[in-house]
Chain A
Amino acid sequence: MAELAAAIDLEAASASRRHFWSRFAIYGLLTVFAAIYLIPLLVVVFNSFREQAEIARDGLISLPKTFRLEAWTQAWSTYCIAGTCQGMQRNFLNSLWMTIPATIISTLLGAVNGYVLSKWRFRGSEVLFTLMLLGVFMPGQIALMPWAFVLGKLGLTNSTYGLILVHVVQGISFTTLFCRNYYVGIPDDLIKAARIDGAGFWRIFWKIMMPLSPPILIVTVIWQFTGIWNEYLFGVVFTSGQAQPITAALVALTASGTTARSYDVMSAAVLIGALPPLLIYLFGGKYFVRGLTQGAIK
């Protein structure tokens, strides 16, 4: 009897030891990976507050010994990019005035399109939907020359309006896809009942669909905002200098370092360029992930 109890004890002890080591391994691995993911961010954050002299002495990857905000003000308003010394503010505002309208317009179009394609189907609407989806897969490169021509004809070369147009057209496929797939899940009976009561196309849209839409609209807005803000190809091809969005300006800024690189200012500039989508991610993480997974599994 005693022997059996001892054996069970031994067994339990070894099981709990195994459990301990497996938990240890799990958290250990997670910590290692977390460090790999976080270190680049920490390096930039630290360097944006360190003195350049300290960075030159201690290296790029080091704990900060000094703290100052000058790099941020320089990066924002006085640093020179390609001959002009106004920092990133112009480009930051360009990105903002490009991203906000393009996001709103493409989301609204997507909502209306999704509404038509899910609740007012007509002969051939499934085919049209499929054709619109092809836009999701188009590589931007295939549209570069045609866009250059169209923007030139419209007099929108080198302007934020031109980029808004490009992003709206490119975004329609995504927003329509998101909204249509969401609206398909709203019962048709709801629409039918409203129609019997005499509600028309727009009334049903505003009074029934819109109040049910916030979940998908948040996802679509986050998807569009981060995508448009982070876009580079169209920005660098269709604009130059002061008219460029922040992604293009960042590349110009970091490429122009012929003299000693001022990592402090460049770090601050990088963070200014990364901040809007990062904030959206931190505050709307749940919707960000939902947008990703919905956008991914078509």
Chain B
Amino acid sequence: MSIHDLSVPIAVPARSWRDRLGSIVPILVLAPSLAASFVYVFVFTGWTLYLSLSDSTLLPSYGFAGLDNYVSLWSNRRWNIAYTNLFLFSGFYIVGSMAVGLLLAILIDQRVRGEAVWRTIFLYPLAVSFIVTGTVWSWLYNPADGIQALVRGLGWSDFSFALTSDRNHAIYAVIITGVWQSSGFAMALFLAGLRSVDPDLVKAAQIDGASVVRTYRKVILPTIAPIFLAVAVIQIQFAIKTFDLVAALTRGGPGISTTFPAIYVYDLMFQRGEIGEGAAAAVMMLAALAVVLVPYSLWVVWRRRAEAGNG
């Protein structure tokens, strides 16, 4: 914290205009970014918040309409589907990608040959856009051309895997694809965590005769518990913002069965000319993020303080 002193020129008794200029340079340099971030974070959020309370329809307008947009949002069946989908998707997506990611991380942690190759294979989907992933998987789900056709061609003639053309199951296509895309990411974080566990702790457990499974369950995994939480929070964030994947995979369909809040916002604002209600939906997305991120951030700060206090 003594770095504050740096902004005061050292060993210069009388301050010339040059020194004074020098001491405001850092602030001048930071100013444009600060201004841009301020506008982006606060002005834009406030703006959309106001739009959500306005009577905007096809064009933004600033007549005050109170909570009308929120009322009509929550009474809309499509929004309720979007919202239910978000819960369903978030749950399965987080559990699925964490389970697969953890399994892969533990497998790779068993001193396997060619570790770098396995890691590269499991992580590459993350480098590719959701648009690419969604497009390719939409072909694989296509009953006439994709996985169903392949398996039927192999002789299992009543095999059914037509997820995306069935309104009750299309959401699972989104979940599977989401897990496929992001489990490598969970793996990378878990692997980094596993590698950070104190080897002496593991050795001690082995000397005590604990099996591999028991060592993981009782010693290794509890020590990386914070990573579980971090992965979950990041995945929830992805889930709430999910737009591209659905746009490319199912376009919200069949019907409205895979509508998500992010799709809903886009659709209302730019397709249907319901800017006010679209803004209300966007505010609800922000609220959902805040519900997850605020307690998590507070917990992280608290934990850091506690560790600093103990250390």
Contacts and interface: CB of A to CB of B under 8 A. Distances in A.
Pair from one complex: yes
B121 A37 contact: yes
Contacts of A202: 25
Interface stretch (B74-82, B125-133, B162-170, B202-210): B125-133
A274 B130 CA distance: 10
Contacts of A297: 189, 227, 230
A134 B107 CA distance: 36
A123 B60 contact: no
B129 A200 contact: no
Given A120-B26, A121-B3, A139 B38 contact: no
Nearest to A249: B131
B40 A274 contact: no
B102 interface: no
A26 B186 CA distance: 19
A37 B180 contact: yes
B147 interface: yes
Contacts of A254: 135, 138, 248
B36 A172 contact: yes
Contacts of B285: 139, 141-142
B159 to A, nearest CB: 13
A232 B129 contact: yes
A30 interface: yes
B120 interface: yes
A107 interface: no
Interface in A273-291: 273-274, 277-278, 280-282, 285, 288-289
Interface in A228-279: 229-233, 236-237, 247, 250-251, 254-255, 261, 263, 266, 270, 273-274, 277-278
Given A139-B282, A200-B22, A270-B135, A60 B140 contact: yes
B4 interface: yes
Given A60-B149, A122-B4, A145-B47, A139 B262 contact: yes
B293 A289 contact: no
B125 A37 contact: yes
Interface string B270-303: 1000010011011101100100010000001000
A266 B145 CA distance: 14
Given A121-B7, A137-B289, A137-B293, A146 B44 contact: yes
Nearest to A27: B112
A60 B145 contact: yes
Contacts of A147: 44
Contacts of B269: 144-145
A169 B122 contact: no
Secondary structure type dominating chain B contacts: helix
B150 interface: yes
A139 B112 contact: no
Contacts of B51: 145
A288 B192 contact: no
Nearest to B32: A109
Contacts of B84: none
Contacts of B275: 145
A128 B31 CA distance: 10
Most chain B CB inside 10 Å of its own CB: which residue of A122, A142, A202, A277: A142
Interface stretch (B65-73, B88-96, B214-222, B234-242): B234-242
A158 to B, nearest CB: 13
B129 A149 contact: no
Given A117-B30, A192-B6, A289-B188, A61 B146 contact: yes
Nearest to B100: A33
A285 B117 CA distance: 11
Nearest to B286: A142
Contacts of A293: 188-189, 192
A226 B100 CA distance: 24
B265 interface: yes
A50 to B, nearest CB: 13
Nearest to B104: A33
B37 A250 contact: no
B48 A232 contact: no
A274 B30 contact: no
B83 interface: no
7 contacts: A40-B140, A138-B40, A142-B283, A143-B45, A172-B37, A196-B11, A250-B131
Given A144-B282, A200-B22, A277-B129, 6 more contacts: A34-B122, A38-B121, A113-B29, A278-B128, A292-B185, A292-B188
